[in-house]
Amino acid sequence: MKIHNIKIFSGFLLLFIFACNSPEFTSLKMYVQEGNLEKAEENGLKALQLEPENALVPYVLAVDVYLKQKQYDKMAEMFDETMRRNPDQRLERPFTVEDQVVNTVGEAVGIYREQEWSRAFNNGVQFYNEKDMDKAILNFELSSKIDPKNGKSYSTLAALYIGLKDLPKAKMLVEKAMKIDSEDEYATLAALYIELKDLSKAKMLIEKAMKIDPKDEQAIITAGNIATLEDDTQGAIRYYLQAADLSKKPAPIMKKLIFLYIDIEEYDQAIEYSMKVLKSYPYDSDIYYNIGVLYQRLASNHFNDSRDKFVVISDMDEWDQGELQEIDVSFKQARLYSVEAREYFQQACDLETMDSGACDAASEMKKLKIQLDTIFIPAVEEMMQ
């Protein structure tokens, strides 16, 4: 979010002293001008009591005292008090933001809230990336105080607490974010409700998000995640395919599709998407291993089925040549799949840093190929002569 540059409207500071202003408010502004913020605060707090309807008192305390002192909690409190008193009260010192003149305290509070919210939130992101969770949480909490109507603070905190396994606190924060009813946060909140195992609320939010923007990629992915958790495999596939078509980087979505196609035993489709994913992750040993598993399953399916038929027909006095031909084709297909499986397992073995069983799997596929080449395929071909 953009940090605004604040420009004072007049070229020099003007302190308008109205007859209705208390001496304490006048002193507040005078001490601000002198840089004596301690005295400014002292007089400002007195002026708050003496001028209960003057929105400029808490506004000046917030902007000219607490913001400069980096006392953000107190600044947020004074912003709230400003808005409670009279957001339409005119500023003594109008300023411009991107060539727009800001005239009222309410407009100014919005500008400062956005600026300081961005600063606190971005600091939280930085600490999170540095894995300093305590400081990250402090800054995200501060951002929620600076702008309590920005649901992103609550949803981000909720995600952090889910990661820390503090689900009660995460749930409380998600519910706070829900009360704000920010359309931009529907998909994020739905994902959080999935983590909290409340699929009904997650579905309700995702339906809202997709109604607002039918091409919201994250919302569509989350809808797919919900369908997966509800064992609606075909629904999940439909959502993921839609998201993959919209995405500029569809490989992570295709990974989800691969496992769904494996679950419903559509191995050819799983292999097709695995090949596409491999282009994005050419050094990912897990992908090579998974492709190896797919070819291994295809090889095993063909081999086991054909071997059972071969054992039955071998005990017969007369051999059905048509059935023998089918068995021969199936054994040879199993051989082709075993060769593919071995190659992918071997590549996974060469790339992996930890033993996943890829090397052993490559050896097993080699053994299967040898059995087919030396025992089963020659036996069937001899019976076909």
Q: With pLDDT > 90 as the criterion, what percentage of the chain qualifies? A: 65
Q: Which two tokens stand for residue 271?
A: 């292999």
| Phi and psi, residue 353, nearest 5° | -100, -20
- 311 touches 286 (CB < 8 A): no
Do residues 276 and 302 both lie within one domain?
A: no
Strand, coil or helix: 71: coil
Q: How far is CA 349 from CA 194, 270, 369, in A?
A: 35, 21, 19
Task: Determine the pLDDT at residue 195.
Answer: 87
CATH number, domain with residue 49: 1.25.40.10
**Average pLDDT, integer, range 286-293:** 92
Task: Determine the pLDDT at residue 220.
Answer: 94
Look at residue 129 and tell me if it is in a domain. Answer: no
Q: Which two tokens stand for residue 371?
A: 């059995």
Rounded Cα gap, residues 43 and 52, in angstroms: 14
Do residues 332 and 266 both lie within one domain?
A: no
Among 263, 280, 297, give the residue marking a domain's end: 280
252 CB contacts (<8 Å, ≥6 apart)?
Answer: none
SS3 content of the chain, % helix, strand, coil (to 5): 75, 5, 20
pLDDT one-digit tens code per residue, 143-191 = 998 888 888 999 899 889 988 989 889 889 888 888 886 777 888 888 8
One-letter amino acid at 167 equals L
pTM greater than 0.85: no
Look at residue 48 and tell me if it is in a domain. Answer: yes
Q: Is the pLDDT of residue 9 over 50?
A: no
Among 92, 113, 134, give the residue marking a domain's end: 113
Do residues 299 and 334 both lie within one domain?
A: yes
Helix count (H) and strand count (E) of the chain?
19, 3
Look at residue 299 and tell me if it is in a domain. Answer: yes
Task: Determine the pLDDT at residue 97.
Answer: 84
Picking from 117, 113, 91, the residue whose alpha carbon sits closest to that of residue 103 is: 91
- 258 touches 277 (CB < 8 A): yes
- Under the banding of pLDDT at 50, 70 and 90, the label for residue 288 is very high
| Phi and psi, residue 170, nearest 5° | -60, -45
Look at residue 337 and tell me if it is in a domain. Answer: yes
Do residues 343 and 262 both lie within one domain?
A: no
- Under the banding of pLDDT at 50, 70 and 90, the label for residue 18 is very low
Task: Determine the pLDDT at residue 335.
Answer: 96
Secondary structure letter of residue 101 according to DSSP: E
| Phi and psi, residue 376, nearest 5° | -75, -50
- Under the banding of pLDDT at 50, 70 and 90, the label for residue 318 is confident
Distance of CA 358 to the CA centre of its chain: 31
- Under the banding of pLDDT at 50, 70 and 90, the label for residue 20 is low
Greater confidence (53 vs 15) lies with: 53
42-81 b/e (C-beta count within 10 Å ≥ 16 → b)? bbbebbbeebeebbbbbbbbbbbbbbeeebbebbbbbbeb
Do residues 272 and 298 both lie within one domain?
A: no
Task: Determine the pLDDT at residue 37.
Answer: 95
- Under the banding of pLDDT at 50, 70 and 90, the label for residue 7 is very low
Task: For residue 7, list its beta bridge partners.
Answer: 96
- 365 touches 299 (CB < 8 A): yes
Specify the pairing of strand 7-8 against strand 90-97: antiparallel
Task: Determine the pLDDT at residue 181.
Answer: 67
pLDDT one-digit tens code per residue, 330-376 = 999 999 999 999 999 999 999 987 777 899 999 999 999 999 999 99
- 202 touches 194 (CB < 8 A): yes
Q: Is the pLDDT of residue 327 over 60?
A: yes
Domain housing 292: 285-383
**Average pLDDT, integer, range 189-216:** 90
283 CB contacts (<8 Å, ≥6 apart)?
Answer: 351
Strand, coil or helix: 222: helix
Range from 42-51, 139-148, 371-380 carrying the lowest mean pLDDT? 139-148
**Average pLDDT, integer, range 219-226:** 94
The tokens 């409340």 sit on which residue? 198
Average pLDDT along the chain: 89
Strand, coil or helix: 104: strand
Number of domains in the chain: 3
255 CB contacts (<8 Å, ≥6 apart)?
Answer: 277
Task: Determine the pLDDT at residue 11.
Answer: 33
Maximal C-alpha separation, the chain: 120
Range from 36-45, 72-81, 176-185 carrying the lowest mean pLDDT? 176-185
Q: Which two tokens stand for residue 323?
A: 């059935």
Do residues 273 and 378 both lie within one domain?
A: no
Q: How far is CA 140 from CA 126, 164, 167, 178, in A?
A: 11, 15, 17, 17
Look at residue 363 and tell me if it is in a domain. Answer: yes
pLDDT one-digit tens code per residue, 91-136 = 988 888 888 899 999 999 999 999 999 999 999 999 999 999 999 9
Query: What kind and span of H or E run contains 78?
Result: helix 72-85
